[in-house]
Amino acid sequence: MALRFKKGLPLLTVPKIRLLVSGHQHEHSVFLSFSPKAKAEKSHRGGLPSAFIRYSSSTPKGMEVKCQCGTISFSTSNPSPLSVYHCHCIECQKQSSSAFGTSAIFPADGIFPLHPELKAKLRIWTRPSNEGRAMDCYFCGKCGVRVMHRIRDADGRERDTVSIKGGLVEGLNWKGAKHIYTRSAVVPIPHGVERCDGAPEEMEGRKEGKRKTDNT
Ligand SMILES: [Zn+2]
Ligand SMILES: [Zn+2]
């Protein structure tokens, strides 16, 4: 057990414990700390300050995701993405306000349901997608950077995967990324890379087969 200080407040750190989250085992750091409010309560009431428990959602083996301003910070459950796509569709050009968008596909498990602290910092914009689906797009409420999106199928079920913007994933291996929707590409596609005109034959998290008109 270690005692350390953060912003002038004592922060008591206990050894990592193991928690079962969504059926998967992750290691979490558990912090016991005392808020200024709790201090005030102590002085007024003379009792022991109420402690609150804050645990980091970081998993040691996952990848760190950080927005441009640093407000959004969390870890993936997987040590690497299932796939990385450079998407040249019109929507990704608009979304990225650039030539194409890069999506790193991770299992949603371990990120969703969102931790309340993280959820409070994110904003959501939902846009309709093909065939009655909806895309929940998450962005930083402070710097506005798109962080990730997740698709809900027509029946309301969320996909098993989440698409995180590649530039936010620290240490991402960009080699082997597939170029998709190249039919609307506005920049040359490098030679020798895996590519397809539209949606890839198989996309992680999709519950059915190929959909020719599907956008990421
Ligand atoms: Zn931000
Ligand atoms: Zn796209």
What pLDDT, in 10s, does the model give residues 127-142? 998 889 999 999 999 9
Compute the distance from residue 149 Cα to the ligand 2 centre, in Å: 11
Write down the pLDDT at residue 130. Answer: 85
Phi, psi at 121, each rounded to 5°: -90, -15
Number of Cβ within 10 Å of residue 94's Cβ equals: 10
Identify the nearest ligand to the CA of 199 by its number: 2
Compute the distance from residue 127 Cα to the ligand 2 centre, in Å: 13
Compute the distance from residue 201 Cα to the ligand 1 centre, in Å: 33
Q: What are the residue ranges spanned by the domains of the chain?
A: 2-55, 64-184
Per-residue pLDDT tens digits for 172-209: 999 999 999 999 999 999 999 999 999 988 776 665 44
CATH of segment(s) 64-184: 2.170.150.70
Write down the pLDDT at residue 156. Answer: 93
What's the pTM value of the predicted model, to 2 decimals?
0.69
Write down the pLDDT at residue 60. Answer: 56
Compute the distance from residue 50 Cα to the ligand 2 centre, in Å: 48
Strands 64-66 and 52-55: unpaired
Compute the distance from residue 202 Cα to the ligand 1 centre, in Å: 32
Write down the pLDDT at residue 202. Answer: 74
Of 12 and 98, which is predicted with more confidence? 98
The closest of 70, 132, 131, 129 to 95, measured between CA atoms, is 129
